[in-house]
Chain A
Amino acid sequence: MAIKQKLKKILVEELNLEDVVPEEIDDSAPLFGPDGLGLDSLDAVEIVVLVQKHFGVEIKNLEEGRKALQSISTLADFIESRSS
């Protein structure tokens, strides 16, 4: 499964996002705030842990997190760059 698809599935299932199906998530939509998935700062902690658990990739600090946690696309790019 492609990283983006896997990410969407993980976020919906493990964050228990109600009324959201993975296929409907826009790759470039913001993860946080009202204009995108509507996640909040506490969800960021869960995403960091989930990315490590499922992809073995660690988001080590705020700088990395700010870049990676913007959208599904940026997060997938981050995972890809760290996996290779």
Chain B
Amino acid sequence: MLMVKSCSVQNNFRNWSSRSLAGKWRHGFFYFLIRLGGHKLAYLFLYFIVFYFTLKPSVRKKASYYLARRFPASKGVRKFLDCYRLNLNFGKILIDRAILAILGEMDMETTSEHRKIVFDLLAEGKGLIMVTAHVGCWQLAMSGLDFTGVPVDIVYHHDQEDVDLQSLGHAKVSHLFHFIDPCSPLGGTLDMLESLKKGHVLCFMGDRVFGSKKNTVEVNFLGQKARFPISAFKIASVVGAPVVVVFAYRTGPSSGKMKLMRLIRIERNHGRNSEEYKPYVEEFVKALEGFVQEFPYQFFNFYDMWS
């Protein structure tokens, strides 16, 4: 049987995990709070629990890879507060996600101009590749894509140790969403191709690497080289699909605003060498840098991207 598994056979390259920090019972506790008192009660407990976690050196270390590059001058108490703020925002995102899954509450704002761009691109009939990142309320943003009226296929690997409640599983939106596992045979690429052929929206996380190193390029991010995947851009080149870079920032409880940062067109059959896709990856990374300059506490990659 043909098995090109990006995650087990070839993937000694991946250095991140989506394993949840807190155990299942802690998540269950928060789900209980949400059912009991909505987001206010859950946030109230969150402030204390995040403080407890931020006291742990191992938790601070995970945040330090990004914070040291975003706030290089930060030291002492300020450094601790930066970490607390980042972790607190991440906790709020997880609660918002759970609120969507449990109560179905979400308010994702998009401008009519951005919606028109998306509709026009979908009308080209080649599907639409949407590249986003682990910033802001990215899962809520995906849920907010129901405005497109077409199915949304998300390239996503769910670690067994990730016990977070997935917001896309909510009955209101679940029928529109389908996950494509990049760890499935052939890296899920045939499913991705099928998705675009059917005119769906295909979502990639542009800040996570899977599979072999040759499908990544080194790009300067926050002053140092980090590796980013070329997959979305290469598939776009093969099928001629347009690419949009979309980020969503959190504006308040269970609410956010989606921003279309870039529209990228890649010529058909652009090439096989990963370096040929570097200019497109750089476009994405520039947009990502712009986002973290504007929203420094809404960047949620807790691993060393620069290693």
Contacts and interface: CB of A to CB of B under 8 A. Distances in A.
Interface string A67-80: 10110000000000
Contacts of A16: 271-273
A61 B187 CA distance: 13
Interface in A25-84: 30, 32-33, 40-46, 48-49, 59-62, 65-67, 69-70
B1 interface: yes
Interface residues of B, number: 30
B235 A40 contact: no
Contacts of A44: 4, 186-187, 189-190
B6 to A, nearest CB: 6
B44 interface: no
Contacts of A65: 2, 186, 190
A20 interface: no
Contacts, number: 74
A34 B9 CA distance: 10
Interface residues of A, number: 24
A42 B231 contact: yes
A21 interface: no
Nearest to A46: B238
Interface string B1-16: 1101010011000000
A32 to B, nearest CB: 4
Q: Which of A33, A62, A67, A69 has the most CB of B within 10 A?
A: A62
A14 B231 CA distance: 18
B212 A40 contact: yes
Contact of B4 (A15, A33, A48): A33
Interface stretch (B141-149, B166-174, B191-199, B297-305): B191-199
Given A42-B231, A66-B1, 4 more contacts: A15-B272, A44-B189, A62-B185, A66-B186
Interface of A: 14-16, 30, 32-33, 40-46, 48-49, 59-62, 65-67, 69-70
25 contacts: A16-B271, A30-B2, A32-B4, A33-B4, A40-B4, A40-B10, A40-B187, A41-B187, A41-B211, A42-B189, A42-B215, A44-B187, A45-B238, A46-B238, A49-B193, A49-B239, A59-B190, A61-B190, A61-B191, A62-B191, A65-B2, A65-B186, A66-B186, A69-B2, A69-B186
